[in-house]
Amino acid sequence: MKKELEKTYNPADIEDRLYSKWINKKYFKAEVDRSKKPFTIVMPPPNITGQLHMGHALDNTMQDILTRFKRMQGFNALWQPGTDHASIATEVKIIEQLKKEGIDKKDLGRDGFLERAWQWKEEYGGRIISQLKKMGSSCDWDRERFTMDEGCSEAVEEVFLRLYEKGLIYKGSRIINWCPVCKTSISDAEVEHEEQAGHFWHILYPIAGTEDFLEVATTRPETMLGDVAVAVHPDDERYKALIGKNVILPFLNKEIPIIADTYVDKEFGTGVVKITPAHDPNDFEVGKRHGLEQINIMNDDATINEKGGKFAGMDRYAARKLMVKELEEMGLLKKVEDHTHNVGIHDRCNTTVEPLIKQQWFVKMDELIKPAVEAVKSGEIAFVPERFDKIYFNWTDNIRDWCISRQLWWGHRIPAYYCKECGEVIVAREMPDVCPKCGHTHFRQDEDTLDTWFSSALWPFSTLGWPKKTEDLDYFYPTNVLVTGYDIIFFWVIRMVFSGYEYTGKAPFQKVLIHGLVRDSLGRKMSKSLGNGIDPLEIIDKYGADALRLTLITGNAPGNDMRFYLERVEASRNFANKVWNASRFIMMNLEKAESEGKEEIHLTQADKWILSKCNTLVKEVTENMENFELGIAVQKIYDFIWEEFCDWYIEMVKPRLYSDTDETKSAAIHTLKQVLITSLKLLHPYMPFITEEIYCTLKEAEGKDGEDVSIMIADWPVFDEKLGFTQEEEAVELIKAAVKGIRTVRTGMNVPPSKKASVIIVTESGRIAEIFENSKAFFATLAFASEVKIQKDTDGIPSDAVTALIPEAVIYMPFAELVDIEKEIERLTQERERLKGELNRVTGMLSNEKFVSKAPEAKILEEKEKLAKYTQLMEQVEERLKTLK
């Protein structure tokens, strides 16, 4: 018995089954094959703490589209998957879990904690991978990597040693982002900036040896305890005479200098800036230029330390409150202004981040960044869209040394060892036996771990076996394209670029395809705090993965944010139903085509039209996809399938399919099948499940074993010049214009589709006449015609016939055949009486002086608009009645 499509499309019935088939058949697998050209994408590794969200769904849908497209084109396509250990995010999760059990992290000790961390990873680390599989992601899962697996860890250690040996890694004191709750340095990527209502406190610093003051405005009064200078602009005439003098720092009563620096903005605030090098990155740079002391006045928990005088031991905000109060009492608080400013928040614990000077491990960036800058300038690496070059260069032009150490236990531990006797630092793969400086044999390893970005920066090549010279690395690297969001260009993309050049001598990828954020229907960023997140898995359960994927890509333009509406998902689901029902209809008719292939196929005008349109579609979609215009490509596929193929061509061929005598029936079936298969192939990268089910069912109906057939390994359609039927395209487009014109007239006259009428085409053009003569069968159906006549003049056409115009022809329809005149007169007479009543009511209101003088302006305007509308409708009804009578 031949397999048929189910009557109703239900994604839940097919998706898991088809995905299992793809996995079992190893269709996603990519092995080195020198006879094929490779195409490689590395998946941005999701955190093992991760739960699939819309950003993941969009990012991975785009990667899957490109991978499936290239695989069908004949490339040896590798989509390399993996997950990130996400040091701080994972550690926070595990600490939360331990707290529920009444266990403190310190009680477990480092080894005990790491044991629990690995258990956690085994239990939860694969969750997001299984969720990505629900999306239809065609990664080579046999190659799945983890940033802390043996190979990736070896790569991390190798990089640290190489950079250290080159003098590019050092330990020193610089300003870093510090989380007082997690008690670790954190990267810029983990700092979220949110607008908060705050204040500008205007504080008076006494000028030493005078009775005058300098007015300084600050948003963080507590940091004044670490002030080492106040700065003015060298060209500011107000303060030129004071440069080189001192002010007295309140509370600590010590003198600090007044310095000149172009960093100060003369126009902002008072034009005087307090300089606190240990608590502000800009002040740190000013302090370096002027050789100023760095005084850190905070403990790791953001309490004031012993350098804060009487405020020592107080929380930073309690100290601020007391300081402001005492400054006011001393007469040194001139004024307080409300001020809204961006505050850095740690995204894991929602604590306000403190910029602090701390001793950490850093990577020198001045030299490392140069090849990364040149790569984008030369075009060796290109951003899509190109405008993201500016963001990239803005970051590279303002590069600072990279803080790579974290005060965490989960992660790659820094391979640095300290002699317990003399403190000598030795960087090595293993703990040394003997100190080269003092000869002692007792060492301790550095407690810190490396920034997560340190390992993910190596991702494009560490996943392929680097630092070993593997065949995979030689064949699949450099990768072709990186797909990522614009929010991590600095944190990840740039680090991969300079790492690629430094360790492999090559760019890690050729293109960087940037996508925007998925926002809610109001345009807001999806977040836990707003509670506006939408779970992709819930969408899949209700509508299917294909509908979700189509929604995420439709209207999507590189680099632009998109809004997510459930109505759009429903529209995508409706499209899936349309494709399913059309395919089912075609396959039911294929069974009747016993003679197909046994006789010569004679294509009609309509067949050539749809084949030509489909051929053009192949060319345009391929070009769009090569240019990463995925949203434009899928819109063209969508419009072609829904409108040209389903709404027009299938309706055109129905009379031929239902006729037992039509000699072109085989051509119709041949064309239906060819266009369906091509359409499914073009749609497959976007909607892999439904296209696979239809394609395999179609092939099985032909007698092929469905288990050995898959659309995902079928050949991508190729443009064929022989299928360019320009004349037939023009002819059918003319027919379509005629049908649309007729339908517009009928709709305007409220004529139901069931009401047939004669259609007379009047044209002096032999070419136009021939087009309609050749298309009579389907034209009559589409135009709701009882008969179609083609003539050169208007002889015999009733004078009351209504018309529709097309180029070089006029279409006539006898009025009496369209409308039951007596019934229409009766209906219009009733409508006239109703309009008379409305006009009398509105006219009466507007002529009533009491109403006009007391009613709101908006109400009067509303009634005037009604008067104009009813007047126009009455004129139309009167004109129509006059014509009918």
pLDDT digit string, tens, across residues 369-409: 999 999 999 999 999 999 999 989 998 998 889 999 999 99
184 vs 179: CA distance, rounded Å: 6
| CATH architecture for segment(s) 822-884 | Orthogonal Bundle (1.10)
507 vs 491: CA distance, rounded Å: 17
Whether 249 shows a pLDDT value over 80: the answer reads yes
**Whose CA is closest to 618, among 59, 166, 210, 73?**
73
Q: Assign 597 a pLDDT band (cuts: 50, 70, 90).
A: very low
Q: Assign 529 a pLDDT band (cuts: 50, 70, 90).
A: low
Sign of CA dihedral 326, 330, 336, 342: negative
Which of residues 191 and 296 earns the better pLDDT score?
Answer: 296
528 is in an annotated binding site: yes
Which of 152-161, 450-459, 798-807 is the least confident region? 798-807
User: Residues 784-808: what's their mean pLDDT?
Assistant: 88
User: Residues 561-588: what's their mean pLDDT?
Assistant: 94
Q: Assign 159 a pLDDT band (cuts: 50, 70, 90).
A: very high
Domain positions in the chain are 184-356, 565-714, 728-819, 822-884
Q: Assign 567 a pLDDT band (cuts: 50, 70, 90).
A: very high
For position 592, what pLDDT does the model report? Answer: 67
For position 857, what pLDDT does the model report? Answer: 87
User: Residues 403-416: what's their mean pLDDT?
Assistant: 95
For position 716, what pLDDT does the model report? Answer: 98
Sign of CA dihedral 512, 518, 522, 527: negative
| CATH number 3.90.740.10 given to 184-356 | yes
What mean pLDDT value characterizes the chain?
Answer: 91
Whether 1 shows a pLDDT value over 50: the answer reads no
Whether 681 shows a pLDDT value over 50: the answer reads yes
Amino acid type, 236: D
Q: What is the pLDDT of residues 547-564, one digit of tens each?
A: 999 999 998 888 888 898
Instruction: Confirm whether 565-714 and 822-884 share one CATH topology.
Output: no
Q: What is the pLDDT of residues 69-89, one digit of tens each?
A: 999 999 999 999 999 999 988
For position 739, what pLDDT does the model report? Answer: 93
Q: What is the pLDDT of residues 24-65, one digit of tens each?
A: 999 999 999 999 999 999 999 999 987 888 889 999 999 999
**Whose CA is closest to 746, among 757, 733, 761?**
757
Write the burial class of residue 181 (CB in 10 Å: 0-12 exposed, 13-18 middle, 19+ buried): middle
- The tokens of 90 are what? 């994972």
Q: Is there a cis peptide before residue 281, judged by omega within 30 degrees of 0?
A: no
The CATH number, out of the four listed (3.40.50, 3.30.2320, 2.60.120, 1.10.1740), of the domain defined by the range 728-819: 3.30.2320
67 vs 164: CA distance, rounded Å: 38
**Whose CA is closest to 694, among 559, 569, 546?**
546
Tell me, rounded to whole angstroms, the distance of Cα 884 from its chain centroid.
Answer: 59
Whether 253 shows a pLDDT value over 80: the answer reads yes
CB burial of 639-659 (b: ≥16 within 10 Å; e: otherwise) equals ebbbebbbebbbebbbbbbee
For position 2, what pLDDT does the model report? Answer: 56
Percentage of the chain with pLDDT > 90? 68
Q: What is the pLDDT of residues 698-737, one digit of tens each?
A: 988 777 776 779 999 999 999 999 999 999 999 999 999 9
504 vs 462: CA distance, rounded Å: 10
Residues 425/444, Cβ–Cβ less than 8 Å = no
Whether 184 shows a pLDDT value over 60: the answer reads yes
Residues 745/806, Cβ–Cβ less than 8 Å = no
Measure the CA dihedral 656/659/665/666, to 10°: 150
Most confident by average pLDDT, 190-199, 419-428, 794-803, 867-876: 419-428
For position 674, what pLDDT does the model report? Answer: 96
pTM: 0.86
CATH top class, domain 565-714: mainly alpha
- Specify the length of the chain in residues: 885
Amino acid type, 220: R
User: Residues 336-352: what's their mean pLDDT?
Assistant: 81
Q: Assign 595 a pLDDT band (cuts: 50, 70, 90).
A: very low
For position 599, what pLDDT does the model report? Answer: 57
Q: What is the pLDDT of residues 640-667, one digit of tens each?
A: 999 999 999 999 999 999 888 888 899 9
